[in-house]
Amino acid sequence: MQVYILENTDIRHSDMENLLPFWSSLSDSEKELINENSRLYSFKAKDNIHGGIGDCTGIILVRSGRLRTYIFSSEGKEITINRLSPGDVCILSASCILHNISFDIRLDAEKDSEIYIIRPNAFDQLKKSNIHVSNFINAVMNERFSDSMWIIEQILFMSFDKRLAIFLLDQSVAEKSDTLHFTHDEIARHLGSAREVVSRMLKYFENEDMVSLSRGSITLADKKKLRDLTI
């Protein structure tokens, strides 16, 4: 459940400088427009932040925690598109200001998170009047499109053992740990697969001494073997 946080003005100014690369290129009135039309919220892990098509939540700036962006396949399976860490920005949560783009994404807090949400109309006003804001949106959109194409390429052309190995290695880097706390069902949702498929492949990895399995966690025992699968 979201909780609105009354933040210190000096902290907000510092946050905006860190989160918006174009902040120094804004006029005082443009900065004030963002300040008046943004709020800092706190979300607990697993809270939904953005609900999908038809929603126009606004521009989301991640101050702390981690968010997960995902879509649903035609079979109703969740497929993770990317994760947003502190300093990242989500544009697709304001699809109503993105002309000719209709992307049915959903956004959940993967960890306890603090995020700024900028109202879409205010950001649209800036986009139309400031070239630096417009260029920023284009750059973020290109990056997110590249992320999406990478996921589609994995689904269409990669074997599942390779996709699973990539997922485990990426999570190890993100968590800075060789022990990952995921259930088989959670991994299946991330990869748009079935839990039974994930369980069988993890068991195969365990038999090959690549991972060690325990209830609710997976330890990467041989990263070299996992990396070899991704080549």
For residue 100, name the pLDDT band (cuts at 50, 70, 90).
low
**Sheet strands side by side (includes 211-214):** 179-180, 217-220, 211-214
DSSP for the chain? Answer: --EEE---HHHHHHHHHHH-TTGGGS-HHHHHHHHHTEEEEEE-TT-EEE-STT----EEEEEES-EEEEEE-TTS-EEEEEEE-TT-EE-GGGGGGSTT-----EEEESSSEEEEEE-HHHHHHHHHH-HHHHHHHHHHHHHHHHHHHHHHHHHHHS-HHHHHHHHHHHHHHHHTSSEE---HHHHHHHHT--HHHHHHHHHHHHHTTSEEEETTEEEES-HHHHHHHH-
Whose CA is closest to 116, among 190, 179, 194, 41?
A: 41
pLDDT of residue 153: 81
Contacts of 68 (CB under 8 A, 6+ apart): 80, 83, 84, 107, 108, 109, 110
pLDDT of residue 149: 85
Whose CA is closest to 217, among 195, 202, 200?
A: 202
Tens of pLDDT, residue by residue over 31-87, are 999 999 999 999 999 999 998 666 889 999 999 999 999 988 777 888 888 889 999
Q: Which residue has the tokens 């994930």?
A: 198
Tens of pLDDT, residue by residue over 158-217, are 899 999 999 999 999 989 999 999 999 999 988 988 899 999 999 999 999 999 999 889
For residue 101, name the pLDDT band (cuts at 50, 70, 90).
low
pLDDT of residue 79: 85
Q: Which residue has the tokens 């521009």?
A: 59
Q: Which residue has the tokens 């396949």?
A: 73
pLDDT of residue 1: 61
Domains of the chain in start order, with CATH, are 9-156 (2.60.120.10), 158-229 (1.10.10.10)
Residue 117, number of CB atoms within 10 A of its CB: 22
What's the average model confidence in pLDDT over 137-156?
Answer: 84
pLDDT of residue 154: 80
